[in-house]
Structure 1
Amino acid sequence: MDNPEKEIAGVLSLVTSGIKPEMQKESIQRYYTKDVPYRHPFFAVLRSANSRPTLVGLFQWFRIVLPKYRVDVERVTYDEDKNELFLDSRCVALLPWSSLSLERTVLVHMKLRAETSPDGDPDKVLHYIAEQEDFLRPDDVIALFAPPLVPLALLVLHFATFMCVLGTFFVNLAQPWVVRASDGLEDTSRHIAEEGRRVIEEGRHPVHNSRRLLNGLAQQVERTWDQAAEKEKNVHVDGSGGRRSENKPPSGVAGDPGGTAYAEAAREAMGEMQEKGVNAI
């Protein structure tokens, strides 16, 4: 592909909805690398020196099982730096064993590889699909093979959600959870500060005076963690004026109630961001 962002919709249509086996095979050989791996909720093609023929057989089996099938690409996101594609697509299939017509959303992730054109022109570079993974929701997968079981699948998903919420309720009754510095809270807060500045630079925030507000909150989070880092050095001045080290528990861990002040300050900063309508993440 010369322009992956513009061409990928047509390519995906050729490899998934080809009207003849030869056309489908030729399209896969043209646009996919020889060692391409493929992941699907029910299938997997492992990367090998010549895994492409396996992918051809799998895609042709899809056409045998679902002869009336098409993929409509609704949105394409191309990460040029990483040479990756993300496709929001809608699959429409008429199941041969029933009169049902299914429409399901599929997220397709493709990693591309830039290679010299096979026509021998060293200045011409083409992009080939070097890896593909399809993401479907559990109920959509079940709908392809057993449509009557879709309500049961949705019931299981809602029940799992209810159990998680119920578990959270009882855990908070016993003892509210607190993320400690040793659990990676420092990295999280620094990420919050960086994200706030990135939002400002991209100009995506609608709140008036958001530049000054987010900068101030980001600096507050950073100051909080700088203070925490000093505490966790476990060094203090003794009565004689000299410095000595103590084996005290790090700030923010169990057994040091006063050491959680910096974690509280970080949470207050995030609360202030939410109250003012700032969504930095």
Structure 2
Amino acid sequence: MAPCVVHVKAASILFLAHSGGNKDIMDDPIQEITPVVHLLTQGSPQEQEDTINEYFTPDASFTHPFCQTWSFNGSRKLIHSIFKWYKIMSPKIDLQVNSVAYDEANLILYLTITQTFAIWFIPFHRSPVTLTTVLHLTRSPTSKKYLIKSQNDLYQVDQFVRFFLPWGIGSSLVTLWHAWATFFCVVLAWIFAPFLRLEQAWAERRTSGGAETGLMKTVSRIEEERMRGFGGRNGEAARGEEIAAAETLEDIAGRVRVSGRETDAEVRKLMGFGSEGAGDKTQFGSMQVVRPN
């Protein structure tokens, strides 16, 4: 099976669109996303095509473990091809949107989706998978409504291998690999426990001996260079900035938690929590998390 075979499937899974037959561009991503996902995965080929034209920008991008369109003028045409091949491979899809989270401040929509994909021309092929789809939205240049500018399908390894190693073969191999890797983590953590104790002593500024101090300084310098790139800022100055920033963030987080507890009832009322058809909602700053009814 070609790599795009797998890619197509996830592609269809994740796009937004019309709710209740409304042909206008999205007003409310949370309310409209679930009907559109079902429309694109279970609708007719023409419905898929119309929805992509209505709700994706002409330069929209699509990213999947097996395929990628990138973003350029006219890249939406590639998304059309992906959806067409998706529909050809599996005319009937069993799919459920498990949850939706919307980061309103950054215009990012997160969907957790479960689907069963079965390629009709491969005997006994059936791939039940779970993925998280990340949709970056943008405002329409002619209105305040939303369009999709990028989609990114995120799969755990044991999920996407089911596309090309079905019948439990792929997931079983990944499970064995995970168990083997975990075993090595346990063994190596035990072997290198002295280094961990030295690292803790270094963090508490209680290392003794030139060798220990020299080793940890070398390790710290290497780590700083790799994290920041060679030729970056002075390590001690950067560390001081990081500590100050961390303290500031911790202080802000504390105030947010207190404020959140005091105003929870008011926020829930203003955000329309519990409104009919909205599903169960939770608010985290600018993020709304919704579990569809």
Q: TM-score, normalised by structure 2?
A: 0.60
Give the corresponding residue for 1:161. Answer: 182
Alignment partners' CA distance in 2, 1:190 and 1:160: 38
Pick closer, same or farther for the CA change 1:194–1:159 going to 2, 3 Å: farther
Tell me if 1:149 matches 2:207: no
> Whose Rg is larger?
1
Tell me if 1:129 matches 2:154: no
How far off its partner does 1:8 sit? Answer: 0.9
Corresponding residue to 2:253 among 195, 210, 216: 195
Corresponding residue to 1:47 among 65, 71, 81: 71
Q: Is the 8 A contact 1:11 1:31 kept in 2?
A: no
Give the corresponding residue for 1:245. Answer: none
Give the corresponding residue for 1:67. Answer: 91
Give the corresponding residue for 1:8. Answer: 33
Corresponding residue to 1:109 among 134, 139, 151: 134
How far off its partner does 1:138 sit? Answer: 0.6
How far off its partner does 1:193 sit? Answer: 4.1
SS at match of 1:45: coil
Following superposition of structure 1 onto structure 2, how do residues 1-281 of structure 1 map, counting pairs within 5 Å? 1-20=26-45, 22-96=46-120, 97-99=122-124, 101-117=126-142, 124-147=143-166, 148-176=169-197, 177-178=199-200, 179=203, 182=236, 184=239, 186=243, 187-188=245-246, 190-203=248-261
What's the Cα RMSD here? 2.5
Alignment partners' CA distance in 2, 1:168 and 1:129: 45
How far off its partner does 1:75 sit? Answer: 1.4
Q: What percentage of aligned pairs have identical amino acids? A: 24
Q: Is the 8 A contact 1:38 1:132 kept in 2?
A: yes
Structure 2 stretches of 5 or more lacking a match? 1-25, 204-219, 221-234, 263-293
SS at match of 1:145: coil
Q: TM-score, normalised by structure 1?
A: 0.62
SS at match of 1:130: strand
Give the corresponding residue for 1:240. Answer: none
How far off its partner does 1:150 sit? Answer: 1.8
Q: Number of residue pairs matched?
A: 197
Amino acid at match of 1:201: S
Alignment partners' CA distance in 2, 1:149 and 1:79: 34
Higher RCO (CA < 8 A, seq sep 6+): 2
Alignment partners' CA distance in 2, 1:48 and 1:116: 17
Alignment partners' CA distance in 2, 1:158 and 1:63: 36
Structure 1 stretches of 5 or more lacking a match? 118-123, 205-281
Pick closer, same or farther for the CA change 1:74–1:175 going to 2, 3 Å: closer
Alignment partners' CA distance in 2, 1:110 and 1:53: 18
Alignment partners' CA distance in 1, 2:63 and 2:258: 37
How far off its partner does 1:196 sit? Answer: 3.4
